[in-house]
Amino acid sequence: MGLAYIVSMKQHNRPVGPVVFVVVALLMAGAASAGFAQAAMMVSVDGTIASVNGGQITLNAADGTTKNATLSASTMILERRRATLTDIQKGDAMGVTAHRADDGNMTATAINIFPAQLWKVVKKGQFPMQQPGQIMTNALVDAYAAQGNTHALTMKYGSETYPIVVPDSAEIYRLVAVDMSMVKAGMHVFVSGSANSDGSIKAAVVRYGG
């Protein structure tokens, strides 16, 4: 399956964590598959909100520049909350980033438990990521069982099933869709969306927390 790549503005002075990248990849892949802004350049900004004026936010980006972003009713605001292995339940919609070994076995490195709003728009199934050996699985939890210090996770979408080993070291987050009123000055956020002609961003997602 194809992967919808993100064109980054390289506004990060520090590495972006794997779970942050996963969220953006999931949303942009889903948006592209749904026909959203297919011809637009996808951009992302990591920074602190300097001001909020209705649906307009001004960001002090990590590289010291100032960026503006426009939020709308279609912008998804996600709060990222730490979760544990015990929070995973059968039927949960999740995005699992895993490393595929030479023998084909997959070991999870990061897991995002989706809200219903996010599950509706993400690209579903299993597909390769940009990093060699990294696989994304967006599917429903079919089975989950403890096996010593690891857990055996089986994801399912349609007729396809995907077995994945989940070690204790895997990063696990629950993504919670919240109201736009939660976006406030002083908050550190990760904004992604399409680039406007004036250099501002039409925000598809604003992620904070975690």
> Mind listing the domains of the chain with CATH numbers?
18-79+176-208 (2.40.50.320), 84-174 (no CATH)
Kindly state the tokens that stand for 168.
């204790």
Band (pLDDT 50/70/90 cuts) for residue 149 is confident
**Rama region for 148: left / alpha / beta (φ>0; ψ in -120 to 50; rest):** left
What is the percent of the chain with per-residue pLDDT over 90, rounded to a whole number?
64
Q: Quick: pLDDT tens for 20-60.
A: 445 545 554 444 444 443 445 788 899 999 999 989 999 99
Average pLDDT over residues 172-188: 95
Q: What residue has token string 């089986």?
A: 154
Q: For position 148, what pLDDT does the model report?
A: 74
pLDDT of 17 > 60? The answer is no
Bridge partners, residue 144, by sequence: 153
Q: E strands within the chain?
A: 42-53, 56-61, 66-70, 76-82, 93-100, 106-113, 125-128, 134-147, 150-157, 160-167, 171-178, 188-195, 201-208
pLDDT at residue 146, as a whole number: 81
Average pLDDT rounded to a whole number, residues 111-139: 92
